[in-house]
């Protein structure tokens, strides 16, 4: 199933719907638009999209009442129901048409589509139109890989995405259930989820992201800070030994200011650090520095 000669579905749905004929200009034998009673159309159980917005369906059904179905549904003969059709592309239009009270729908019948074709077309249609939720997209990629033996590279070519995009989406499937729920509900974006996917405790990080309303960049920084350091433990460098003159000067400044003073010297260059514990101490220090010691 991975032979290069397979259809390049990533090119879009127009050719699949019969809008672009064969190279010789002839019509497809089963690619003409026809009408079918709505009750003879059945949803595809392998449809990648599982969640349909009620508001979007209502909006589309209103448009269909006014203008009809402008694009035919792509179907194939139902494998287990002679005389009926399985929807390959257009389930949302089918659902909205039911709400609009339509009795018949325009369809394009394709008898040459196998199960892999049907799944790939469903993925392409939804991904190109950005209709899939992140986990739906990831599950569709996983099905193409596990059930049909596709590689990540082949899946990427099929849907017109990069291989790294496919790999990153697949990582979402390893997230804990709580994080996946937040992703499905829109409290986390795919970018947030990818940022914490490799963390030791992504569920805890997800709660922090939601509570603090962090951006993706901030979430990436949070995940980096939470990541255990790899390799050897960092080498702890001992502080350079201070000479007697430096220690004496620190002592004099500490007594003069009433605050702990540290001098960091490196070959005649360095810094003086003055530690304070309250704002009042800082205010007093500023006044004394302004007046002169």
Which residues are catalytic, by number? 91
Tell me how far apart the alpha carbons of residues 219 and 200 are, in angstroms, rounded to a whole number. Answer: 14
Q: Provide the phi-psi class of 131: left if phi over 0, else alpha when psi is between -120 and 50, else beta.
A: alpha
CA dihedral 80, 84, 88, 94 (to 10 degrees): -130
Q: How many residues does the chain have?
A: 293
Give a three-class secondary structure readout of 149-175.
CCCHHHHHHHHCCCHHHHHHHHHHHHC
Tell me how far apart the alpha carbons of residues 239 and 158 are, in angstroms, rounded to a whole number. Answer: 58
C-alpha of 106 from chain center: 34
Tell me how far apart the alpha carbons of residues 60 and 264 are, in angstroms, rounded to a whole number. Answer: 70
Tell me how far apart the alpha carbons of residues 261 and 185 are, in angstroms, rounded to a whole number. Answer: 53
């Amino acid at each position: 199933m991975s032979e290069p000669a397979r259809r390049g579905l990533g090119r879009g749905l127009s050719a699949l719907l019969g809008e672009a004929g064969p190279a010789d200009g002839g019509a497809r034998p089963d690619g003409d638009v026809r009408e079918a009673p709505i009750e003879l159309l059945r949803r595809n159980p392998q449809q990648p999209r599982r969640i349909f917005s009620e508001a979007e369906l209502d909006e589309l059904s209103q448009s269909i009442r006014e203008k009809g179905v402008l694009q035919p549904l792509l179907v194939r003969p139902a494998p287990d129901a002679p005389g009926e059709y399985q929807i390959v592309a257009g389930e949302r239009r089918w659902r909205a048409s039911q709400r609009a009270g339509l009795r018949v729908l325009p369809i394009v019948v394709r008898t040459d589509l196998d199960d892999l074709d049907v799944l790939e077309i469903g993925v392409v249609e939804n991904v190109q139109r950005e209709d899939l939720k992140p986990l739906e997209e990831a599950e569709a990629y996983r099905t193409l890989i596990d059930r049909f033996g596709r590689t990540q590279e082949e899946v990427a070519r099929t849907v017109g995405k990069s291989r790294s995009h496919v790999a990153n989406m697949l990582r979402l499937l390893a997230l804990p259930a709580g994080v996946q729920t937040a992703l499905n509900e829109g409290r986390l974006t795919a970018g947030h989820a990818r940022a914490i996917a490799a963390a030791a405790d992504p569920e805890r990080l997800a709660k922090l992201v939601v509570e603090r309303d962090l951006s993706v960049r901030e979430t990436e920084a949070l995940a980096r800070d939470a990541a255990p350091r790899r390799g050897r433990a960092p080498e702890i460098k001992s502080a350079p030994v201070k000479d007697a003159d430096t220690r004496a000067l620190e002592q004099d400044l500490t007594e003069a200011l009433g605050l702990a003073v540290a001098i960091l010297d490196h070959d005649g260059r360095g810094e003086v650090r003055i530690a304070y514990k309250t704002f009042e101490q800082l205010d007093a220090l500023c006044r004394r520095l302004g007046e002169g010691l």
